[in-house]
Structure 1
């Protein structure tokens, strides 16, 4: 194995990063637009969420096939353990968050749109479930800000403070 992740892993990582920015932006910025734009912002948010879920599952499967390239110089075991815990949290967060969102949308009992397509919905709304799921979805999404910041800060600390190859392993390859 080389000193970098595979091109597929790198591509999925940065694509998920961009989709997370778009998904978060759709919810954070929708209040600045007329209410008539709300369905468009919701569709963008949900479509990004579904794509993130799909890519995170694919990334997990690829990760099981291709182990992480070694960090040079090798970090202390505690650092490695913290990194594994952090990545577990990221995988869980960006798999569970979209699932909660999808179950929430389905149980609203009315049509909703993803990728410009009307999606299936429950025959009857379950507002108690929807309210509980929405609370969890918002809480986990807010936790996502912290987790993303911590992940980015850790990558920068590895690069600039500990001077290892952690960040470089996930950077796209330069074209020859």
Structure 2
């Protein structure tokens, strides 16, 4: 029985991580850019975030298309449930986070350029909603640090201490 994710799933997993790192990175580093680059940095953040949203959606579809490879040796039932819950929490988080960011920008009446094309302003600007959406976006982003950290620590724990193939199933190569 195959005990690895498909090459497409593996590639999308690591590409999603890269886009998440870039989305967080440009926002965390925005104060280090000269003022004339602030708009570009913000637009990069939007593009990385919306790319994460699209990749996660594709990954959810693929999760239903391909069977999840079994972990060898099998996990206790409670660990399997926690792993499933954590994965779905990550999917939900990385769908909600770009959605909240997108709505924050749209309700503020600001322009979003997605890969160079301006997204039409199809939401009536309501600047009074922006602070609540922005604060929620930032709170969810903070939760993201912890969930991604938990996910990474669990994979490394399984690899180095439990010595099962949890991490190997998502690694590229043979």
- Give the TM interval when normalised to the shorter protein: over 0.9
Contact 2:106 2:123 in 1 (8 A): no
- How far does residue 152 in structure 1 lie from its aligned partner after superposition? 0.3
Corresponding residue for 1:131?
131
Equivalent position SS for 2:162: coil
State the Cα deviation string for residues 76-122 of structure 1 (Å, max 9, x = none): 11110110111011000001111111111111113232222222225
Contact 1:43 1:116 in 2 (8 A): no
- How far does residue 123 in structure 1 lie from its aligned partner after superposition? 7.1
State the Cα deviation string for residues 117-167 of structure 1 (Å, max 9, x = none): 222225753112111111110000111111111100000001011000000
Separation in 1, partners of 2:100, 2:123: 19
Separation in 1, partners of 2:170, 2:123: 45
Corresponding residue for 1:62?
62
Corresponding residue for 1:34?
34
Aligned CA-pair RMSD: 1.3
Unpaired stretches in structure 1, ≥5 consecutive residues: none
Corresponding residue for 2:14?
14
Structure 1 length as normaliser, TM-score? 0.94
Moved beyond 6 Å, runs of 4+: none
Contact 1:43 1:115 in 2 (8 A): no
Unpaired stretches in structure 2, ≥5 consecutive residues: none
Corresponding residue for 1:3?
3
Contact 1:5 1:68 in 2 (8 A): yes
